[in-house]
Structure 1
Amino acid sequence: MIFKSKTLTLCFSTPNSRPLISNLLMAQTRPVHSDPPPPLQQHEQQQEVEEEKSSSLSDTAAFRLESPTLCLTGEARIERAWSHWNKLGRPKLIVAPMVDNSELPFRLLCRKYGADAAYTPMLHSRIFNETEKYRNEEFTTCKEDRPLFVQFCANDPDILLDAARRVEPYCDYVDINFGCPQRIARRGNYGAFLMDKLPVVKSLVEKLAMNLHVPVSCKIRVFPKLEDTLSYAKMLEDAGCSLLAVHGRTRDEKDGKKFRADWNAIKAVKNALRIPVLANGNVRHMDDVENCLEETGCDGVLSAESLLENPALFAGFRTAEWIEESTKDGNLDQAHLLVEYLKLCEKYPVPWRMIRSHVHKLLGEWFRIHPSIREELNAQSILTFEFLYGIVNRLREQGVRIPLYQKDTHVTEIPADELASLQAPTASS
């Protein structure tokens, strides 16, 4: 069942639930981009919310905390943090939050290929509260989309709490972004630029920890000095953070190819804290995953940019850039993954700017071989699924194939019938 509440769009598949009006209802033909239909009337929404609370969201309720985190003593808070993490199955392979890129269809694709959990894109808390269209387009989820971190940027505790309360029934953590290093974060006074305003950081975490019934997580970058990073991490834990993700680069180290993430700093944070800690940075294939977990002692790893190029990374696939003697053709390529992604977008619509971005990320190397096809894509102001499937078919007709590779120790068999289903539909299909 597809469910649209007063505040956000959700997608559920429960056998005995009646269909509800939603901006995600599928047409029989492949849709083109259009504005969502008018929202439901308020009384209809309220009725549907109550029905959903008693049926489809029963699994979610099982993971809700009995009381807010800061209502407990320090030791009990640590025990609860680990109890919740254990209930989720201690996920190790996690899709990092990426603005416009870690939306529902992409998260589901990564989950199919080994991801244990995922973050939403960073959501702007104030805009999320004020704009229904923003909520409906930027945050969608479904029953299979768990465990899920919903990430917000904010600098006002009350505004952040209002936004968090809208999503807490539908996620496993509400996450606060303290790591965004981009200029827009500087202008908006959020993300990594709150590292200069630690009292604000503390107030944001405490506000959620004192009022939410799901745990609060945080994602940070490191300071240039290790002692500052450790003090920062301890402050977050004491403020009520139940899980901390640490990006091993500083705020000024934006280029992941130029600056290596500091796994030693992440290890030091892990050793200093008592809550679960995740590592972010330098994860390009499964050997990196294993090395990172071993070197840092962390409870899981996040990958971002590498997943955009290769959503099957966590299933052991790697791009040609990381070929070794023991690697071989994995019988999968990025065009197959793009077709899967597009089919998910047909089922769970997202803004076309997100889809366009994934097409470029997945087919970037293919477009270098045939730049005229890329130029045709760039010139297309209004996209359709037919057009994008046609791009894939044209590249195939040109004889382009850039396989993904696997090491013998990371082989994932893909059945032949499943591979056949990954072909791009033709105009006649």
Structure 2
Amino acid sequence: MRLKQIAAALLSKSKSSWPPTNPAMAAPSITQTLTTSTNPEEDSLCSVTKQEPEPSQQQQQQECWLLGSPGRCLNGESHVERAWAHWRKLGEPKLIVAPMVDNSELPFRMLCRKYGAEAAYTPMLHSRIFTENEKYRSQEFTTCKDDRPLFVQFCANAADTLLEAARRVEPYCDYVDINLGCPQRIAKRGNYGAFLMDNLPLVKSLVEKLALNLRVPVSCKIRVFPDLQDTLNYARMLEDAGCSLLAVHGRTRDEKDGKKLRAKWEAIKAVKNAVRIPVLANGNIRHMDDVHSCLKETGADGVLSAESLLENPALFAGFKTAEWVLDGEDRSEEVKLDQGDLLVEYLKLCEEYPVPWRMIRAHVHKMLGEWFRIHPHIREELNAQSKLTFDFLYDMVNRLRVLGVKMPLYAKDTRRERISADGSGA
């Protein structure tokens, strides 16, 4: 009887703290003009707040059994078994859209899923603003029934605030992810992301708080330390704290330029060998050849791609931009697909799933970057628009085509390559 009372109380508390005010659980209405939100990243995160006393270990175990939590609630082997059971239930996705601030929003995720992505992260969400601001929630986090598996990523440095934010999204995702890898100055000012590597007890408290209180598993995305042993100790600490999946970016906090500095796949391999939960590899994924090489060299359970997907959302379907087609490799244009085609598909998805215009503008620049270098006056006209419309953007693509601009994508095989469990193509 006591266990039933605990379960009922917990479920009641969870429901009362989570009114589903925002996400597009049903598809949002189509609009032609979207409201641009203020820039929430300029807000600093609140300082760490005093936390409530933790329940006893026995009570935690009972509650976790009742709620079926896949987090740390069951220690040791049980936690690892649940982590893998959840990953397998999702189909063990290997091709994953990485979290990108303002760039991995719902329409872009859906475009990448059409072209082979098997899972995706949301953009990084600011946990404090998410809990306080309904407009922020409604604009920055949207999803739909086909947007799964889904990781919802938060930045945070206060465990209670992070938990409050996580409880609002847990019914609509497969993992709540903690951003421990952002190396940008805004993260340093706000004391989150990769700058929490200087305060490991705080990191541990964030993971434990979610793992002991959510019904979905906790994942973490990290960067490596300059010293490999520090990285391995960090990864093991996260696993012990209740992390059920670990995404490892193979660069350090100071290595921000991905085009000049190669990610250390050997460090990712070492992490994979050091922990028992699923591990994802991030860094140097520019086309499917890199996917196969990375899975083989690291033994990771999947890969994340970020910047390369922004230019070529069809990357996971086997398409390459001309930059990555090797000498002697087939440049057949049997498949008529280029960035202009992908942009039009993206815009149609934005009409179906509205997002702030700043996100749309950023994707236009990324997908048409090469075109704009050929005709910079078109880019200048785009930048001069204080208020974008879909009609303007569709017309802009048509004008580029009339000017004879074409940036084709290339594929060895138009059929999507299957990836076997050992990371080799088949």
TM range (shorter): 0.7 to 0.9
Say yes or no: does 1:327 pair with 2:341.
no
Whether the 8 Å contact between 2:174 and 2:217 is mirrored in structure 1 is yes
1:30-429, aligned counterparts within 5 Å?
A: 31-34=32-35, 66-67=68-69, 69-324=71-326, 325-328=328-331, 329=333, 330-408=335-413, 411=415
Say yes or no: does 1:11 pair with 2:20.
no
State the distance in 2 between where 1:208 and 1:11 align: 23
Whether the 8 Å contact between 1:319 and 1:404 is mirrored in structure 2 is yes
- Which SS does the other structure have where 2:238 is aligned? helix
State the distance in 1 between where 2:415 and 2:329 align: 11
Letter in 2 for 1:367: F
Give the aligned length. 369
- Which SS does the other structure have where 1:149 is aligned? strand
The alpha carbon displacement at 1:380 in A equals 0.5
- Which SS does the other structure have where 1:11 is aligned? coil
Comparing both chains, which one has the higher relative contact order based on Cα–Cα distances under 8 Å and sequence gaps of 6 or more? 2
Whether the 8 Å contact between 1:65 and 1:214 is mirrored in structure 2 is no
State the distance in 2 between where 1:290 and 1:412 align: 13
State the distance in 2 between where 1:161 and 1:343 align: 35
Whether the 8 Å contact between 2:283 and 2:305 is mirrored in structure 1 is yes
The alpha carbon displacement at 1:327 in A equals 3.0
1:132-168 CA-to-partner distances (Å, cap 9, x unmatched) read 0000000000000000000000000000000000000
State the distance in 2 between where 1:207 and 1:5 align: 21
* Superposition misfits of 4+ residues, deviation over 6 angstroms: none
The alpha carbon displacement at 1:406 in A equals 1.1
State the distance in 1 between where 2:330 and 2:365 align: 26
1:299-347 CA-to-partner distances (Å, cap 9, x unmatched) read 0000000000000000000111001222323421000000000000000
Higher fraction of strand:
1
State the distance in 1 between where 2:19 and 2:116 align: 30
1:239-287 CA-to-partner distances (Å, cap 9, x unmatched) read 0000000000000000000110000000000001100000000000000
Counterpart residue number, 2:423: none
The alpha carbon displacement at 1:35 in A equals 7.5
- Which SS does the other structure have where 1:141 is aligned? coil
State the distance in 2 between where 1:88 and 1:300 align: 13
Letter in 1 for 2:29: L
Letter in 2 for 1:8: N
Letter in 2 for 1:402: M
1:172-198 CA-to-partner distances (Å, cap 9, x unmatched) read 000000000000000000000000000
Letter in 2 for 1:255: D
Letter in 1 for 2:24: L
1:199-218 CA-to-partner distances (Å, cap 9, x unmatched) read 00000000000000000000
| CA 1:185–1:141: 2 relative to 1, 3 Å | same
The alpha carbon displacement at 1:73 in A equals 2.2
**Structure 1 unaligned spans of 5+:** 14-23, 37-63, 414-429
State the distance in 2 between where 1:213 and 1:6 align: 16
State the distance in 2 between where 1:103 and 1:288 align: 24
Letter in 2 for 1:25: S
Letter in 2 for 1:10: A
1:346-371 CA-to-partner distances (Å, cap 9, x unmatched) read 00000000000000000000001100
**Structure 2 unaligned spans of 5+:** 1-17, 38-65, 418-426
